[in-house]
A and B are shown apart, each in its own frame.
Chain A
Amino acid sequence: MTESKTLTGGALLFEVLEEHGVKHVFGYPGGAIMPIYDALYDSNVKHFLCRHEQGAAFSAVGYARAAGTVGVCLATSGPGATNLITGLADALADSIPVVAITGQVPTAAMGSDAFQEIDIFGLSLACTKHSFQVTDIDDLERVLYQAFEIALEGRQGPVLVDIPKDIQLAEVTERFDKLSHLQNKVQLPLADINQALELLNKAKQPILYVGGGVGMANAVEEVRDFAEKTGMPSVSTLKGLGSINPDNENYLGMLGMHGTKTANIAVQESDLLVVVGARFDDRVTGKLDEFAPNAKVIHFDIDTAEINKRRAADVAILGDLKANLPSLVTDLNIAAWQQKLQQMSRDFAWRYDHPGENIFAPAVLKTISDLMPSNTCVTTDVGQHQMWAAQHMSFDDPSNFLTSAGMGTMGFGLPAAIGAQISRPHDTVIAVSGDGSVMMNVQELATIKRYQVPVKVVLIDNAKLGMVRQWQDLFFDGRLSQTDLSDNPDFVMLATAFDIKARMITKKSEVNAAVEEMLDHDGPYFLQVKIDAAENVWPLVPPNTANDQMMEGV
């Protein structure tokens, strides 16, 4: 009798991962996922042990965003699974393809309040694009195929697959026919390109409003080509940064709450918005009723539900941006508009002359941006440092600026940088973090230590939850509430405890040498940059205000 090797659910998982080209996964083991961790032994997939499941989820997000692929994370049932949720919510808000695998208690125990049982399937409904719970071993392979397909199809997003322990152990008897793929059920209506061209030709003050969808659609080249051939002035959302070539003379920078003055004024005065992969987020529009009040809208998106959601479109062009945008390239007669905005850009250019010896965060970030090698990937956490990075650093591709845009999740930066670095081992990866945010996933320094991930951490340390402090000063009469962090740990000692080379700087004169030392260093590096706690992010559009009514610093 010949012995045919049996295939378990756990082994099948890694087979399917390998078939999808997955080389790296991030996770944390536990009781209900032990058969999968056992099968890991015999697979070619490399597993990175993170030190918290949230770290695993964010590393998967960073991996996916930096490499333009699917990120995979694993967690056990109960608390392991719930710890993934913030990362999944983040991936949903920013449309990031992630496949999360959770262990579940055995099917016979499900629904009995078993040890470490939580209804993660139920919890997943609001924080994933789609989710599955596998209760029959012969469904597992099809479900895993679908999970990858759904994560990548159309508007990308996170998919969770919950696998009970007995299914992980069970023997696969029926294989799934890989040719019977999912069908894209959404039939997109044909766009009226002629109507769009008509709007374009009539426009005297058009603006190209670039969002995160451009990178997701792999359409950076097409968008740059459109911007250059038409000469249309462009603005970008937080997630769209890097899509437009920063050297394009008609590029005006980021729009919205902390956007450039020129970008916001230009949008308010525009008579046509060509919206590519963006969704009129409230942080972008300010007071919606007063956003670009005289503009017609041509809206390109892959997601039907974004059309007319917050702003009515005069022409909607649904589907693949890469295929659709080139048909709109046309000659525009907008020299006066271009010149006016170019002049405004010069008049309102960022200034880095800052009195005194204290370090000026925008200037440090500008220095790093100027000195970092091309194709450096920068991640951020959330707060003032995030906005300064968005304002003062330049990126040559959206996959080189990873920030938690839709969800604004503190704790994103460090684990996302780890994921990014693992997906792109030959590129420099810098995490710009804050003294509040870094503590939210500080345990991931142990992941850096274990795998010697050469991430550079730049900690903008104001000893405050700076962004909240800024709002308390501006909008709550300076009644500071729970935003002081003056008893922070000794960060240099902390990093050193994880064998990470670390240095603190406090004066302007130290900046250049420290940045060079960091960039030249072979392994991980932690640069603590002390700044004045009173610095604010400018300009600022106050909440529920039109974007041309910006507050500016003195």
Chain B
Amino acid sequence: MKPITLNKYQLIIMADDKQVVLERILQVTRYRGFLINGINAEVNTGNNEATITMSVSSERPITLLVDQINKLIDIKGVKVDNSRL
């Protein structure tokens, strides 16, 4: 079997604070073939915006996941920020 190289990425996701938004992100992430190594979600009650930091790994390019998360209706933005890895 050929060895698989997993690349690690850190995503910062800004989302509307909806109960279901975390579930949507988790579902898309798993379905698109990314492993979640860690996740942190916080809500700013002032502007009802949630910030989700997620580190993931996959053999697939991260743009695949970024594009799919971006398509979720409640998502305001996604950034790849590997500086804190």
Interface residues of A (CB under 8 A from B): 121-122, 125-126, 129-131, 133, 150, 185-186, 303-305, 307-309
Task: Please give the distance in Å from B82's CB to the nearest CB on chain A.
Answer: 20
Picked from B23, B67, B73, B76, the residue with its CB within 8 Å of the CB of A130 is: B73
- Chain A residues whose C-beta falls within 8 Å of the C-beta of B67 in the assembled complex: 304-305, 307, 309
Minimum Cβ distance to chain B for residue A188 (Å): 12
B27 contacts partner chain A, Cβ-Cβ < 8 Å: yes
Question: Given the complex, which residues of B lie within 8 Å of A185, measured CB to CB?
Answer: 76
CB < 8 Å: which of B20, B23, B71 contacts A303?
A: B71
B73 near A150 with CB under 8 A, answer yes
Category for how many chain B residues contact A: 10 to 19
Q: How far is the CB of A124 from chain B (nearest CB, A)?
A: 10
CB distance from B28 to the nearest CB of A (A): 9
Q: How far is the CA of A130 from the CA of B28 in the complex (A)?
A: 12
Residue B6 interfacial (CB < 8 Å) = no
- Whether B63 and A308, one on each chain, are in contact in the complex, defined by CB atoms closer than 8 angstroms, is yes
Determine if B79 is an interface residue (Cβ-Cβ < 8 Å). Answer: no
* Cβ–Cβ < 8 Å partners of A121 in chain B: 20
| B29 CB–A CB distance under 8 Å | no
Complex-state Cα separation, A281 to B70, whole angstroms: 21
- Kindly state the separation between the CA atoms of A179 and B31 in the bound complex, as whole angstroms: 36
**B41, CB-defined interface residue at 8 Å:** no
Contacts A186-B70, A309-B67 given; 11 further ones with Cβ under 8 A?
A: A121-B20, A122-B23, A125-B20, A126-B27, A126-B31, A129-B73, A130-B73, A133-B20, A150-B73, A305-B71, A309-B64
Which residues of chain B are near A122, meaning CB under 8 Å? 23
Nearest A residue (CB) for B75:
A185
* Chain A residue contacts of B63, Cβ below 8 A: 308
A63 to chain B, nearest CB (A): 24
Q: Report B78 CB to chain A, min CB distance, Å.
A: 12
Name the CB-closest residue of B to A133.
B20
Q: For B20, B27, B72, which residue has the most chain A Cβ atoms within 10 angstroms?
A: B20
- Cβ of B26 to closest chain A Cβ, rounded Å: 9
* B27 proximity list for chain A (CB < 8 A): 125-126
Selected contact of A304 from candidates B20, B24, B70, CB within 8 Å = B70
Which residues of the partner chain B approach A303 to less than 8 Å between Cβ atoms? 71
Instruction: Chain A residues near B64: list those with CB within 8 A.
Output: 305, 309
Cα separation A121 to B20 with both chains bound (whole Å): 9
Report if B37 contacts A (CB, 8 A): no
Q: Which A-chain residue is minimally distant from B67 (CB atoms)?
A: A305
Q: Are B70 and A125 in contact (CB under 8 A)?
A: no
Mark contacts of B6-27 with chain A using CB atoms, 8 A cut-off: 1 yes-contact digit, 0 otherwise.
0000000000000010011001
Interface SS, B side: helix
Q: B71: which A residues are within 8 A, CB to CB?
A: 186, 303-305
Q: List the B residue with the shortest CB-CB distance to A129.
A: B73
With a cutoff of 8 Å between Cβ atoms, the chain B residues found around residue A307 in the complex are 67
Kindly identify, within residues 52 to 85 of chain B, every residue whose CB is under 8 Å from any CB belonging to chain A: 63-64, 67-68, 70-73, 76
A150 and B73 CA atoms in complex are apart in Å by 8
Q: Which residues of B are found within 8 Å of A305, using beta-carbon distances?
A: 64, 67-68, 70-71
A130 contact set on B, CB distance < 8 A: 72-73
Can you list 30 contacts pairing A with B, beta carbon distance less than 8 Å? A121-B20, A122-B23, A125-B20, A125-B23, A125-B24, A125-B27, A126-B27, A126-B31, A129-B73, A130-B72, A130-B73, A131-B20, A133-B20, A150-B73, A185-B76, A186-B70, A186-B71, A303-B71, A304-B67, A304-B70, A304-B71, A305-B64, A305-B67, A305-B68, A305-B70, A305-B71, A307-B67, A308-B63, A309-B64, A309-B67
B24 (CB) vs chain A CBs: closest residue: A125
Closest beta carbon of chain B to A23's beta carbon, Å: 27
Taking the closest CB of chain B, its distance from the CB of A104, in whole angstroms, is 14
Taking CB atoms, residues of chain B closer than 8 Å to A309 are 64, 67
Bound together, the chains give a CA A304 to CA B71 distance in angstroms of 8
Q: Which residues of A contact B76 (CB under 8 A)?
A: 185
7 A-B pairs with the lowest CB-CB distances in the bound complex, closest first: A305-B67, A130-B73, A125-B27, A304-B67, A305-B68, A305-B71, A125-B24
Q: In whole Å, how far is B48's beta carbon from the nearest beta carbon of chain A?
A: 14
| A354–B72 alpha-carbon span in the complex (Å) | 52
- Kindly provide the distance from the CB of B41 to the nearest chain A CB, expressed in whole angstroms: 17
Q: Tell me the minimal C-beta distance from A332 to chain B in angstroms.
A: 32
Please name all residues of chain B whose beta carbon is closer than 8 Å to the beta carbon of A131 when the two chains form the complex.
20
Residue among B27, B31, B67 facing the most chain A CB atoms (10 A cut-off): B67
Q: How far is the CB of A157 from chain B (nearest CB, A)?
A: 10
Complex CA gap A418/B46 in Å reads: 50
Interface centre among A122, A131, A185, by most chain B C-beta atoms within 10 angstroms, is A185
Closest approach, in angstroms, between the C-beta of A120 and any C-beta of chain B? 12
Inter-chain CA distance A121–B67, complex, in Å, is 23
Return the chain B residue nearest A182 by Cβ: B73
Instruction: List chain B residues, Cβ under 8 A from A304.
Output: 67, 70-71
| Bound CA span A305–B27, Å | 16
A150 to B71 Cα, complex, angstroms: 11
